[in-house]
Chains A and B, each alone.
Chain A
Amino acid sequence: MTDTPVMQATDLQRHYEVSGGFLRKPRVLKAVAGVDFQVTPGKTLAVVGESGCGKSTLARMVAMIEEPTEGTLTLNGKPVHPADWADLRQSVQIVFQDPYGSLNPRQRIGAILMEPLVINGGLTRPERETKAREMLKLVGLRPEHFDRYPHMFSGGQRQRIAIARALMLDPKVLVLDEPVSALDLSIQSAILNLLLGLQERLQLAYLFISHDLSVVRHVADEVIVMYLGRAVEKGPKDALFAAPQHPYTVALLSATPQADPTGVKKRIKLKGELPSPLAVPDGCAFAPRCWKVQDRCRRERPLLGDAPHAAACFFPENQG
């Protein structure tokens, strides 16, 4: 297997114009304000962060649902332009959070699975059906489910169907936008294990969006922590979980429940609210809530270095 990234993003940004009201100038909301990453076949890149930090917008840009305002996205070394979306779509597919909204209630499972093939052509009807049935088996559903409607399935099964549909076009990259957060805990692990098994078998590159650190710890190879549209820390999973550098990551990790009753738990409580994404502080975005804040943090924006494990902070924790 190769380590060449299948997808690479440089300074990816997405801005929205928010009208301030009648006769007022629209303001710009930077949902994603510059994120760099790359995903490699067979590896999982996890993006974590709290609500509103731009994770889902990032996922939608990667899945070519929304056009990046700035920055470039390359797929297999070729830059992605909206004009080529139609051709490149097959390589990037997405699984959504809510399994109840992501399947068309009026279509049978077979039709849902075969639809991507019908749209993109190239196969005869029997071939499509064979492929759809194989995929059904691959995600752990039974052949008789082929002719049923989505409302006959539980959430976990629906998510399996959504995954199967995403895989029908043999994508290189699978964007998973909180794929398990709507599911029961017991079903979560089954779906995660299914995803890991599929990744190994099909050498898929995953972009895994989540707010759940225990899930991320289970599936990720690389992790990016986002705060207010920017990556504040990135690194290999083990390094990041063992020695988080950015104070925000430290706080985030301290909030994860632990299954060890004897373990010492130091819960860091963040003060203050998440600043409005319309008025991000000039310096470090985290400065107003940081317990180590100094004058420099409020004036200058710290940058994320190029090191494998780097944090956008002037005074990182766990250095050395």
Chain B
Amino acid sequence: MDDALSAEAEIVPDRPGALREFWFYFRENRGAVIGLWIFAVFALLAVFGPWIAPHSATQQFRADALVPPVWQDGGSWKYILGTDPLGRDMLSRLIVGARFSFFVGIVVVVVAATGGILVGLVAGFAPKWLDSIIMRIMDIILAFPSLLLALVLVAILGPSLTNAMIAIAIVLQPHYVRLTRASVLSERQKDYVTSARVAGAGYFRLMFITVLPNCLAPIIVQGALSFSTAILDAAALGFLGMGAQPPTPEWGTMLAEAREFILRAWWVVTFPGLAILVTVLAINLMGDGLRDALDPKLKRS
């Protein structure tokens, strides 16, 4: 037909691949890159923890209880970060504990996001009455202080790490529902959804193939941010004795166990607390960078 118009495409330069473009914007945010590195170390520890750790996480060196860290008087290179009241090596416990926190984060985010996306999609496509019912239920869940609700759920289900994860996932789910529903409602108005409908697409196809991929960016960011919330909540539940049970080297549980020694041996509470702080901070920084990199409105052309 008319070649002049087809030649328009030549003027448009080939855009870089999606991944490279993402990295370009992500790199702009220095905090996010640092967060990413810390997160990578954290993930490495979670995977290879038991092989990296100098000692077993549960082995008790009865003779060496409450040994201070290596730089303090009485510390030894055998226990770099000291030992806890039962003579277990702190560093080993922290390294192995990363695995539990990572596990909690992944499981909670996957469960909450899957459930939340499904419910959010249904709410976005459902008739108004069903949408209202779903959203009011989510509002009720959100109205409770999240930790309190998780605590109640664990109290009902019984204290264990698995139940704590279930409880945290339920508490985090409404955020995903709201986010998904909001994106679905705005995407649904667009003409490409209507034209898929005119082509005969059923609700299932519209939901998962047409609309969902276009709603994913904010959900990914929320996933990264709630990863840290999940770790924090799991630690809090562990601290309250409702999460992982001793002798599991979970960071929150470690804090709780060491509470009574807080004045006598500062290292037993400080290091697990620092581990939680650094991890959560790193993931939040990374989530921020992710949000900026995935938000098309902040992109330069």
A residues lining the B interface (CB < 8 Å): 63-65, 86, 89-90, 92-94, 96-98, 101-106, 115-116, 119-120, 139-142, 145, 148, 151-154, 156-157, 162, 165-166, 168-169, 187, 190, 194, 197
Complex Cα gap A152–B15 (Å)? 8
- C-beta contact mask, B257-286 vs A, less than 8 Å → 1, else 0? 000000000000000000000000000000
- Selected from A89, A140, A152, the residue in CB contact (under 8 A) with B198 is A89
4 closest A-B pairs by beta carbon, nearest first, are A140-B1, A102-B191, A116-B199, A96-B191
> Does B74 sit within 8 A of A, measured CB to CB?
no
Complex Cα gap A190–B214 (Å)? 31
Residues on A with beta carbons closer than 8 Å to the beta carbon of B210: 104
Answer whether A106 and B214 are a contact pair too, CB < 8 Å, given A120-B200, A194-B1: yes
Count chain A CB atoms within 10 A of each CB in B12, B202, B205 and give the residue with the most. Answer: B12
Answer whether A96 and B194 are a contact pair too, CB < 8 Å, given A89-B199, A152-B15: yes
- Selected from B9, B190, B192, the residue in CB contact (under 8 A) with A145 is B9
Q: Is the CB of B9 within 8 A of A169?
A: no
10 A–B contacts from the bound complex (CB under 8 Å)? A96-B191, A101-B190, A104-B196, A116-B199, A120-B200, A139-B1, A152-B12, A157-B5, A157-B6, A157-B8
- Selected from B5, B8, B12, B200, the residue in CB contact (under 8 A) with A116 is B200
Answer whether A102 and B9 are a contact pair too, CB < 8 Å, given A89-B200, A140-B2: no
B233-271: which residues lie under 8 A (CB-CB) from chain A?
A: none
Complex Cα gap A151–B15 (Å)? 9
Q: Is the CB of A152 within 8 A of B195?
A: no
- Which chain B residue shows the least CB distance to A154? B8
Q: Is the CB of A169 within 8 A of B199?
A: yes
Complex Cα gap A90–B197 (Å)? 11
- Selected from A97, A103, A190, the residue in CB contact (under 8 A) with B2 is A190
> Does B127 sit within 8 A of A, measured CB to CB?
no
- Which chain B residue shows the least CB distance to A115? B199
> Smallest CB–CB gap between A151 and chain B, Å?
7
Residues on B with beta carbons closer than 8 Å to the beta carbon of A65: 194, 197-198
